[in-house]
Structure 1
């Protein structure tokens, strides 16, 4: 049926882009008279990026092919409506999250956007676990904002080899979060609590961000600029409270003195 492809494109765009992008794109579309290239350029310039370019081109091409007489405000309304439906459907659903190259055949969320989304979702607590961390100013800013709205932030981070961890170099992952020194609780896995069997040192290699006991992002991506954007990384967002609660409880137990292997970083 004519228009079905355009409807699917709008739904896919609403599912793939974060809410901030949807709002900005809807504003651009509401001022558009038709599906010309100037609208595509305006969408791209509103939120630059390689993946954004693909989505903008796909939307404009489908609009031109399937519904060229449809006015911009109607397309904007359709995009907002699709985004609302997507948000309601995903409230309890697991989602695939990726960094790096995108696939036109599979709808996925971008890691950088999901990290911000999960942090902003926290009402009382955030558990952040990462092996490496650097160059993530936007993430640090979001964590600072969360701490200042009275969200308790626990940062469980790998140490450098010099400090008994497995992270190469002189500096551990906690350095990236210096702005949170007085706002969050830092945890590490000290050398004397790691097993000594074999020739390699056990690593604190988990990567996750849990908001309260409602949702968690588990990903192969470290909290680094390249991992969140350019590296080929995969992850999943879980919104199963029972499962999230068990995961958070596991780390809480690891932090519990005197038996827990994690120690507060002074």
Structure 2
């Protein structure tokens, strides 16, 4: 056997989020072989950028290098690769909205925003210039509030973005620019969970920006960097900066 199949499994194990990894491993365990249509259905149901082509490459290598290997063996190998990579997660990952390609292992903005919100245990800091058409995000924030996560929303008042979060009531704290900062705009787009993970990019919290527009971003998983970002945002809300006020 060549090294192609192990290399492909290791690469995929490093980048897949836990929920998607669990689903793919379950699918592989149910597959009779590389040509099983259950793999086609799973790939069609998970159209993340690059994932379909990666799974296709794995199936081709499986077919040519070890066709008698059971799907359960690939599932185990994938899980082992993910566990081995868990202690060395890349500090950054690319995120996009709109058209996707197989050129890079890119994740979709809508899905990663949900993942970041779900990863919060104590706090969420979210900034957006505009916000509307985000029922899924509001649902996730309601669930986070139910876990006693403190949620601060930094929103541009001129775009009426706070209206998108009205169903959350007092479960969230809303911040707008102070009246003495009217010459500037709150243009940042951030979703930060605790002090460990942050999504940064061009996408506002709107349905079109999260799914359809051509948007580019990154997700940071370096606690040192994310911690400094969180500290800066807290400073903006404090009395020293006097930049933000409670909405």
When the two structures are superposed, what TM-score results if normalisation uses the length of structure 2?
0.87
Measured in 2, the distance between the counterparts of 1:149 and 1:50 equals 28
1:56, 1:34 → 2: CA distance? 13
Partner of residue 143, structure 2? 145
Distance 1:131 1:113 in 2: 20
Could you tell which deviates more after superposition, 133-142 or 254-263?
254-263
Report the alpha carbon displacement of residue 5 of structure 1 after superposing the two structures with TM. 1.8
1:250 matched to 2:237: no
Q: Which residue of 2 aligns with 1:126?
A: 124
- C-alpha change, 1:29 and 1:230, in structure 2 (3 Å) is same
**1:26, distance to aligned residue in structure 2 (A):** 1.1
Q: Which of 156, 167, 173 is the equivalent residue of 1:185?
A: 173
How many pairs were matched up? 246
Q: What residue number does 1:117 align with?
A: 115
Instruction: Report the Cα offset of residue 129 of structure 1.
Output: 0.4
How far, CA to CA, are the matches of 1:30 and 1:256 in structure 2? 52
Task: Name the SS of the counterpart of 1:142 in structure 2.
Answer: helix
Write the distance in 2 (CA, Å) between the matches of 1:232 and 1:65. Answer: 37
- Which has the higher mean CA deviation after the structures are superposed, 57-66 or 129-138? 57-66
CA gap of 1:137–1:56, structure 2 versus 1, over 3 A, is farther
Please, which runs of 5 or more residues in structure 1 have no aligned partner? 160-164, 197-201
C-alpha contact 2:28 2:39 (8 A) present in aligned 1: no
Matches within 5 A, 1:163-174: 165=158, 167=159, 172-174=160-162
RMSD over aligned Cα, in angstroms? 2.3
Structure 1's 55 and 181: CA in aligned 2 closer, same or farther, altered over 3 A? Answer: farther
| Structure 2 residues without counterparts, runs of 5 or longer | none
CA contact (8 A) 2:48 2:106 kept: no
Distance 1:188 1:102 in 2: 34
Change (3 A) 1:72 1:186: same
Bigger mean CA deviation after superposition, 235-244 or 118-127: 235-244
Q: Is the 8 Å Cα contact of residues 18 and 113 (structure 1) preserved in structure 2?
A: no
SS of equivalent to 1:253 = helix
SS for the counterpart of 2:76 is helix
Q: Secondary structure at the match of 2:33?
A: coil
Instruction: Say if 1:174 and 1:66 are closer, same or farther in 2 by CA, change over 3 A.
Output: farther
Which residue of 1 is the match for residue 69 of structure 2? 70
Shift of 1:125: 1.1
Alpha-carbon contact 1:40-1:57 (below 8 Å) kept: no
